[in-house]
Amino acid sequence: MRGEYGQFCPVALASEVLAERWTLLVVRELLAGARRFNQIRRGVPRLSGTLLKQRLQTLEYAGIVTHSSAAGGADYQLTRAGQALKPIVRSIGEWGQRWARDIEGRDLDPGWLVWSMHRRLNVAAMPPGRTVIEIEFVDAPATSRRFWLVHCDGAVDVCLKDPGFDPAVRLSTRVRTLAEVWRGIRSLRGEVRAGTVTLQGAAHYRRALPQWLLLSAYAHIPRRPQIKP
Residue 154 confidence (pLDDT) above 60:
yes
- Count, residues in the chain: 229
CATH fold of 105-212 reads Nonspecific Lipid-transfer Protein; Chain A (3.30.1050)
pLDDT score, position 110: 97
pLDDT score, position 200: 98
Strands (E), the chain: 65-70, 73-78, 130-137, 146-152, 155-159, 169-173, 198-201
What are the residue ranges spanned by the domains of the chain?
A: 10-99, 105-212
CATH fold of 10-99 reads Arc Repressor Mutant, subunit A (1.10.10)
User: Average pLDDT in the 80-108 region?
Assistant: 96
Residue 72 confidence (pLDDT) above 80:
no
Cα distances (Å, whole numbers) of residue 8 to 15, 20, 24, 79, 162: 11, 18, 21, 23, 54
Q: Record the pTM.
A: 0.91
pLDDT, tens digit (0-9, with 9 covering 90-100), for 51-70? 999 999 999 999 999 999 88
pLDDT, tens digit (0-9, with 9 covering 90-100), for 166-211? 999 999 999 999 999 999 999 999 999 999 999 999 999 999 999 9
Q: How far apart are CA 227 and CA 183, in angstroms?
A: 21
The chain-wide mean pLDDT, for the chain, equals 94
Residue 167 and residue 209 in contact, taking contact as beta carbons nearer than 8 Å: no
Residue 26 and residue 59 in contact, taking contact as beta carbons nearer than 8 Å: yes
